[in-house]
Structure 1
Amino acid sequence: MLLRETFESLGTTYIKLGQFIASSPSLFPDEYVEEFQKCLDKTPALPFRFIRDTVEAELGRPLEDVYAWVDPQPLASASIAQVHAARLHNGDDVVIKVQKPNVRNVLLTDFNFLYFAARVVEMLTPGLSRSAVSGVVEELQGSMLEECDFRQEADNLERFNEFLNMTQNTRAVAPTPYREFSTARVLTMERFFGVPLTNLEILRQHVPDPAETLITALNTWFSSLMLCDFFHADVHAGNLMLLRDGRIGFIDFGMVGHMRKETWEAMARFFDGIGRGDHRLVAEAMATIGMTREKVDVDALARDIERFQDKLANLDPTSLLEGGRHDREVNRLLLDIVHIGEHHGIRFPREFALLLKQFLYFDRYVQALAPELDMFADTRVDIFATLDQLH
């Protein structure tokens, strides 16, 4: 608890490092993963004058020349950026994502120090790989610096919409970026109006069949694993919206994941095994996905997986989508799966944990919104279609 609170007090770099720990159960002890799950990316809002100064410096013109109106009260304030509602002179409603001052310099300085400290620890610790810790620091630095370049996020938005057009998917959408009003530190994009998929009361009142809404989100996300260059790696609470026109809005593409064909093929077998209740198939897939020098006792692993699935089936879905509790529940399930693998000598790559965490988020959505829906048995859910297209 003290370490997590210290990270939060140290600011941007350490908050993000804490979130990295929370999402990497294959790399860190479970007590750290659980505690850092509470590491918040919410910070006090900056005064609007800082937002104005950044936008004007980045776009090279007065704020009023670009926007007809900007709400000085932010929609959200996180460690890297602050988001404000606005309207362009042509009447388009937009949101402006504005990077906070000196974020990139702070990240570079902090991570250079962390990398140096990690190398010292590796040299002084017998038996520790020369890149065990520093490699993690390098990976995190690369992903965070990429997150600081809003041009990359604009690319992600455009590529995701291109993927939707290519697959003729008219039931999902991502915000359109306005390139002429965007830079590395300012991102102007289309504003979506609707409700998060976690707003159970409104969804149940106004959506005749919540299962159909979920199926759209599921099919879109699963198809992106193989037909898009990346997948949305943060489909928690507020990042999936039911829009007023009935489409599903995917927002916040700052965090994305990249999936190798071989990993998804093994994950497909993993999910297929869960759907069939074939614990041996699940065990074989886990042995393929994981990295191990030992021969895995697949039968013993299958028995442990069967006990885990019994636990999963007995969970109470009530209020699983309520903020922090939802995240902790997902993380606990993820830790359980990682522990089962480690008990059998399997160490999973981080991409497995990242992908599986999104799947568990969707599983929570299903249990809370449409508990009658079986993702694996319902023919409307096409988890493996894209995989079939590759063979």
Structure 2
Amino acid sequence: MLKKRMRYLSRYQDIITALYHYGFGQIVRDIGLLERRKPKRSKKKKDTDLSVAKRIRLLLEELGPTFIKLGQLASTRADLFPQHVLNELEALQDNVPSFPYEDAKEILEQELDTPIEQLFRSFNKEPLAAASIGQVHEAELPTGESVVVKIRRPHIQRIIETDLAILEDLLLLAEERVTWVKKFRLIDLFHEFANALKEEINYKNEAQNAERLKRQSKNQPTMYFPVIYSAYSSMKVLTMSKVEGTKITEATYEKGYDQELVAERFATGMFEQIFAHGFFHGDPHPGNIFVTKNNDIILIDFGMVGRLSDDMRHSLALLVQGLKSRHTDRVMKALFAMDIVHEGVDQARLHDDLDYLRLKYYDVPMAEISIGEAVQDLFAVANQHDCLIPPDLTMLGKALLAVESIVSHIAPSIAIIDIVEPFGRMLIKERYDPRRFARKMQKESQESFETIRLLPKDLSQTLKEIRDGKLKVSISIGEIKDLIKKVDRISNKLAFSVVLLSFSIIMTGVIIGGSLTAEPTILLQIPAIEVGLTITSLMFLWIIWAIFRSGRF
């Protein structure tokens, strides 16, 4: 436990010192952690002289794997960050040395529970590539297949968990003390990225993603995926067939490739993943796409994928339809269907901003419009109105931009809208398919029936909790304050009424007693009533003064 605490404290200092070093000392001061900074380092060139975006990139690279991967994930959020920051985040490099072969061998043998000599006929001790999460080695299976083996870095999970815990602490602290942090919902964004990172470092998830993409692309004979060898894979090890091909941006006419055919096959395969299946490769950059001599496409690296529900896909079709027809109301309807617009949004202002965006594309020929850029512009407008963009939609925008960028690079004559349009028609046809309505009605009927079936049980449980005094009511802080004020007002009015009633009863008794008694009595000879009346009057005046002074009458 002490060792863990020391590790946390040391890492805290590293992060805070790096923030200060790269010119973000104001953040450190605002959250009150300046005293934890290590002594300032001396450098020939001041890093604070660089642009903010470049300093963010250098900061993330210095802080290591967790921050590099978070930065790479953040580069997909064009709805949240300006373009000059995104450009730097996309340039993030895993400038990390490879780890020794002995460590790789130990991890392999522990995970697969077999000596490496029995696992592989040959295993290249020198890594083919090294990154922040793991490194890749070439090998040959006993059956003769050439494979690549991805091995996770030693202790990387512990490092990432430590960094994520510290980052969450810092962001929660910043939310309390820095106004803009809470405004931009950075803690929600952090949780989104942290969950994505935890999924990515588990190679079992990547293997499952690859297998699912392979299954759903069986009708695309020109798009291939590496073979995953599950017997040689685990959470920390991923073994797949070696890819033989040329990087897509280097597959030129001069090298014997048909660039237009390559572009068409790549774009068609990606759009089928997105629009037909709703499960797509989330990071289709040139380094993850290879071309065979037959102009077929091979995709690799499936750690990052996007998911779209059926309802989201059909709403997306409505959105594309609205963008294509330049119809603002249809775009608004699509945003509502996607649950992007919430009740607190000023819908009139949002409509005006969307209408302004429509005018931007009004005179541009449809063949020249970038769908990815249009979707990104749309999300940027929605974000200005504090609309919540689901992460899979932002990943979709990023994937569309990447596809268009590659297609325009290798085949500028191809209009991307011509490849997308058939999928749009397919989605619209599917949207109004009677069989889809029937399935949806059946599903909703089943859910309604289940709700009705459980209603007596739920009602009985609620009544039991009421009888036992165990019914829980959720009240926010603001509601508690209002409730306390109301209770104060009620209690003060009640006290006022009681005193006033007492005073009235005494006065009534005095009047009645005086009228019924003709002869003087011992009681009347003692000024007890006058004293009582005086005391009661003073108490009455004091309570009235106290109530009015509290301001809660």
Q: Same fold (TM over 0.5)?
A: yes
Q: Check if 1:181 corresponds to 2:229.
A: no
CA separation in 2, counterparts of 1:298 and 1:92?
Answer: 58
Task: Determine which of 193, 199, 207 is the counterpart of 2:244.
Answer: 193
Structure 1 or 2: more helix by fraction: 2
More relative contact order in 1 or in 2 (CA 8 Å, sep 6+)? Answer: 1
Task: Give the letter for the 1:268 counterpart.
Answer: A
Q: Check if 1:55 corresponds to 2:108.
A: yes
CA separation in 2, counterparts of 1:246 and 1:42?
Answer: 33
Q: Normalization by structure 1: what TM-score?
A: 0.82
Residues 180 and 386 of structure 1: CA distance in aligned 2, closer, same or farther (over 3 Å): farther
Equivalent residue pairs, number: 372
CA separation in 1, counterparts of 2:331 and 2:309?
Answer: 20
SS of 1:13's equivalent in the other structure is helix
Which residue in the other structure is 1:325 paired with? Answer: none
Q: Check if 1:291 corresponds to 2:302.
A: no
Indicate conservation of the 8 Å contact 1:75/1:85, yes or no: yes
Residues 286 and 353 of structure 1: CA distance in aligned 2, closer, same or farther (over 3 Å): farther
Indicate conservation of the 8 Å contact 2:326/2:362, yes or no: no
Task: Determine which of 289, 294, 304 is the counterpart of 1:240.
Answer: 289
SS of 1:376's equivalent in the other structure is helix
Which residue in the other structure is 2:153 paired with? Answer: 100
Percent of paired sites with the same residue: 24
CA separation in 2, counterparts of 1:12 and 1:333?
Answer: 33
Residues 312 and 18 of structure 1: CA distance in aligned 2, closer, same or farther (over 3 Å): farther
Which residue in the other structure is 1:356 paired with? Answer: 397
SS of 2:249's equivalent in the other structure is coil
Larger Rg: 2
Task: Determine which of 407, 415, 427 is the counterpart of 1:366.
Answer: 407
Indicate conservation of the 8 Å contact 1:99/1:186, yes or no: yes
Residues 179 and 386 of structure 1: CA distance in aligned 2, closer, same or farther (over 3 Å): farther
Which residue in the other structure is 2:267 paired with? Answer: 218
Unaligned runs of 5+ in 2: 1-53, 434-553
SS of 2:417's equivalent in the other structure is coil
The Cα of 1:143 is off from its aligned counterpart by 1.4
Residues 27 and 199 of structure 1: CA distance in aligned 2, closer, same or farther (over 3 Å): same
Task: Determine which of 206, 215, 222 is the counterpart of 1:153.
Answer: 206
The Cα of 1:358 is off from its aligned counterpart by 0.8
Which residue in the other structure is 2:77 paired with? Answer: 24
CA separation in 2, counterparts of 1:337 and 1:99?
Answer: 38
The Cα of 1:51 is off from its aligned counterpart by 1.9
Indicate conservation of the 8 Å contact 2:204/2:233, yes or no: yes
Task: Determine which of 311, 315, 332 is the counterpart of 1:262.
Answer: 311
CA separation in 2, counterparts of 1:229 and 1:307?
Answer: 29
CA separation in 2, counterparts of 1:357 and 1:11?
Answer: 24
Unaligned runs of 5+ in 1: 318-329
Report the more deviating stretch, 48-57 or 180-189. 48-57
Q: Normalization by structure 2: what TM-score?
A: 0.60
**Over the residues paired in the alignment, what is the CA RMSD in angstroms?**
3.3
CA separation in 2, counterparts of 1:38 and 1:269?
Answer: 34
The Cα of 1:101 is off from its aligned counterpart by 0.7
Indicate conservation of the 8 Å contact 2:267/2:419, yes or no: no
The Cα of 1:130 is off from its aligned counterpart by 9.7
CA separation in 1, counterparts of 2:160 and 2:88?
Answer: 23
